[in-house]
């Protein structure tokens, strides 16, 4: 009996250091808080991550996805903020995590969250109707300049990425559009396909269906480099054949939207590390690479200092536009 007890004690001692090395592990189901409605870009992002984690068994605990898309995602962030100190709530969003509080009076601020990672950059393009006479971005901008304030630019929501980019293009080129805010990118895509608007700045994934059918065509992409080569989408052209807007002669370097992941404030550093590792594994999986290629995003995994620097740059660039347009709420 005594010997057994000693043995047990020895075993326990042997286990303890091992347990410490394992660091933080989830102890209950993890909640993925999606700051968009079902079917939105952020929703797809979170659900793909969920499906890859499940398929490859990267986490022992089950994952539940909850959509809190009210108030352009503010609902999700407020919900995430309430989980202060709880590392079982993971918030999925875009740059709206730090940009929303500028344009709307909300009960959260960027400091309420612990940055984990940015998993991809979604790209923006200028799209026009497939039948439109414009051969390149320059021709379209000139046409817009010739008739200031008459051509229509569609986008999703107000004071969000699409309108910010439209404001940036206007500022850089001196052209002027009527900006029409729609409920989402899908609506902006079909409105362009039906020639009700003259252009939109949709993400690749929002317009790819219409491009395949030749109903819309891309003019240029707001990325520092061309998109990754792909299978031809329409008329022998693929994503890699689209010129960057800089190449096309627009004085605008880049405009990209990060797909971001956050934890609530005051969570243990181990927990942040745990999610960084899991998400990095996800970003290296074949399923993720396939998703990135299919949606023509740029797969760039950022964490820690790199992510923080990106956020600081993006925040400053957007704030400049918000201030110039008078969108900032006091």
Pair 262, 95: CB distance under 8 Å: no
Closest CB 75 distance from another protein, rounded Å? 4
Closest CB 190 distance from another protein, rounded Å? 5
Q: Does 47 bind another protein (CB under 8 A)?
A: yes
Q: Does 299 bind another protein (CB under 8 A)?
A: no
Counting other chains too, the contacts that 227-232 makes at CB distance below 8 Å and 24 or more residues apart are 227/123, 227/296, 227/298, 228/293, 228/296, 228/298, 230/293, 230/296
In the complex with another protein, the residue whose CB is nearer, 36 or 260, is 36
Query: Residue 220, SS3?
Result: strand
Burial 299-317 (b: 16+ CB within 10 A, else e): bbbbbeeebeebbeebeee
Per-residue contact string for residues 107-146; x = within reach of another protein by CB under 8 A: x---------------------------------------
Structure-token match 């820690």, residue found: 304
Q: Does 68 bind another protein (CB under 8 A)?
A: yes
Burial of residue 228 (CB within 10 Å: 0-12, 13-18, 19+) is: middle
Beta strand pairing call for 152-156 and 178-182? parallel
Among 30, 35, 50, 271, the residue binding another protein under the rule CB under 8 A is: 50
Stretch that binds another protein, among 63-71, 168-176, 250-258, 316-324 (CB under 8 A): 63-71
Q: Does 237 bind another protein (CB under 8 A)?
A: no
Q: Does 194 bind another protein (CB under 8 A)?
A: yes
Q: Does 273 bind another protein (CB under 8 A)?
A: no
Q: Binders of another protein among 75-104, rule CB under 8 A?
A: 75, 78, 103-104
Per-residue contact string for residues 152-171; x = within reach of another protein by CB under 8 A: x----xxxx--x--------
Closest CB 113 distance from another protein, rounded Å? 16
Q: Where do runs of H (alpha helix) occur along 157-227?
A: 161-173, 185-193, 204-212
Among 182, 222, 262, 307, the residue binding another protein under the rule CB under 8 A is: 182
Task: Give 52's contacts (C-beta < 8 A, 6+ positions apart).
Answer: 58, 282, 285, 287, 288
């Amino acid at each position: 009996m005594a010997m057994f007890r000693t043995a047990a004690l020895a075993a326990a001692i042997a286990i303890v250091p091992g347990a410490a090395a394992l660091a933080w592990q989830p102890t209950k189901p993890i909640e993925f808080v999606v700051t968009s409605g079902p079917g939105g870009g952020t929703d797809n992002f979170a659900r793909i991550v969920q499906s890859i984690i499940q398929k490859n068994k990267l986490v022992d605990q089950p994952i539940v996805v909850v959509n809190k898309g009210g108030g352009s995602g503010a609902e999700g962030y407020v919900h995430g903020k309430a989980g202060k100190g709880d590392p079982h709530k993971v918030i999925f969003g875009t740059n709206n995590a730090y940009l929303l509080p500028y344009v709307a009076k909300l009960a959260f601020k960027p400091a309420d969250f612990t940055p984990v990672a940015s998993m991809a950059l979604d790209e923006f393009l200028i799209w026009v109707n497939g039948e439109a006479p414009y051969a390149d971005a320059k021709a379209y901008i000139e046409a817009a300049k010739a008739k200031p304030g008459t051509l229509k630019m569609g986008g999703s929501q107000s004071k969000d990425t699409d309108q910010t980019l439209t404001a940036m293009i206007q500022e850089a080129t001196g052209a002027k559009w009527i900006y029409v805010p729609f409920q989402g990118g899908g609506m902006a895509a079909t409105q362009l396909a039906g020639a009700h608007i003259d252009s939109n700045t949709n993400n690749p994934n929002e317009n790819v269906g219409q491009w395949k059918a030749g109903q819309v065509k891309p003019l240029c992409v707001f990325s520092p480099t061309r998109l990754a080569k792909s299978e031809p989408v329409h008329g022998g052209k693929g994503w890699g054949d689209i010129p960057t807007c800089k190449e096309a002669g627009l004085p605008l370097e880049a405009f990209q939207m990060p797909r971001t992941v956050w934890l609530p404030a005051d969570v243990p550093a181990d927990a942040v590390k745990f999610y960084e590792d899991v998400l990095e594994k996800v970003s290296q999986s074949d399923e993720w690479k396939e998703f990135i290629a299919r949606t023509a995003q740029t797969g760039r995994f950022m964490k820690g200092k790199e992510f923080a620097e990106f956020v600081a740059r993006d925040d400053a660039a957007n704030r400049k536009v918000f201030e110039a347009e008078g969108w900032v709420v006091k």
